[in-house]
Amino acid sequence: MRGLSQKFMKDLTLENDKLKMLLSLVRADGALDLEIRENYVYIFYRGRSLYEIKPSGDDYIFRFDEENYGKGCQWDDKAKELISVGQHLEAIPLLKSVIDWHIGTVKQTDEKETQQLIIRENNVMSVALNTDYYIVGSEYRLLTGGIPDLVAVQYNTKSRSRTVGQIALIEVKFGIDAVTGIAGVDEHITDIERFFANKDGMVSLKEEVTELFAQKTRLGLINVSKPIDRIGDEIPEYILLFADATPKSDVVRSVLVPYKNKEFNGFSLKVAVASMMGYALYSDCVVSVDDYLSM
């Protein structure tokens, strides 16, 4: 189950403690994102893992994914010099440059970077106080298989107190090349249908999302005016977010046509549309497949 131990939370939040500097840096640097896993965290930069940080006794181990990003940068030699948290933080500019070089030389999808931009706009930018969705996790592995790109809490717009939320799972597709084929929209929807057919999975997801929202809020990683007390019983949303899909192609519409007028067991299928050119998510801009196809 995702979430941090009390000790990990204390080390991240207490003044003059081991990881306080790390959290302060993440909150100050808009290019960094801290995501919680099973009592460890990832620090992401441009959607790529900059550090994986795990507890080890009374200390913490920082791991940079040298295998994927550090080829030829002599990172192993540099890593031997890093012992304290402060030394690891001082190495972050170097790690950023390694990832920048990797992205610039290895042609990869921009989908992961887009995911981080979505997290930033909805969680920590000034507009986050007005958005309707807050991202509590990324690359979330469901109990029945399938990995939604983002897991969010949506404020219950019917609740005047705005303290009751509902779950939203978000699949991000960058451009049109990833819309069809292997890991395309149809496969992801099948995964989600399988998950919501398992009631135990939903109970576990509610508990986990509630805890993740509380921890991220406490860490200052979600900029919210009123905390959410609980997850309500409204049907969760599964949101398809087609980032930068060209309107010259009819691929998105053709993929969605088979789902017109279709009812799903345990969730509603939605499509996110642009909010005045941004990635901020508002309920009015998350529409049903039928409404999207009628636009």
- pLDDT in the model for residue 251: 92
- Mean pLDDT score, 131-142: 94
Please work out, in degrees rounded to the nearest 5, the angle formed at the alpha carbon of residue 145 by the alpha carbons of 259 and 164. 70
Does 254 have pLDDT greater than 90?
yes
Tell me if 98 sits within 8 A of 70, measured CB to CB: yes
Checking if the pLDDT of 193 tops 70, the result is yes
Higher pLDDT, 203 or 17: 203
In this model, does residue 29 exceed pLDDT 90? yes
Position 109 scores a pLDDT of 63
When pLDDT is averaged across residues 108-114 and rounded to a whole number, the result is 83
Share the mean pLDDT of the chain.
Answer: 88
Alpha-carbon distance of 217 to 42, in angstroms, equals: 17
Using pLDDT thresholds of 50, 70 and 90, give the confidence band for residue 7.
very high
What is the C-alpha to C-alpha distance for residues 41 and 50, in angstroms, rounded to an integer?
11
Q: Does residue 16 surpass a pLDDT of 60?
A: no
Q: What is the pLDDT of residue 222?
A: 95
- Confidence tier at 74 by pLDDT (50, 70, 90): low
Q: Is the pLDDT of residue 64 over 70?
A: yes
pLDDT band at 77 (very low <50, low <70, confident <90, very high): low
Per-residue model confidence (pLDDT) at position 65: 74
pLDDT band for position 227 (50/70/90)?
A: confident
Q: What confidence tens digit (pLDDT) does each residue in 157-192 have?
A: 556 666 789 999 999 999 888 788 777 899 999 999
Q: Which of 7-16, 77-86, 150-159 has the highest mean pLDDT?
A: 7-16
Which range is least confidently modeled, 40-44, 69-73, 105-109, 187-191? Answer: 69-73
Residue 257 banded pLDDT, cuts 50, 70, 90: very high
Interval 272-282: pLDDT, tens:
998 788 899 99
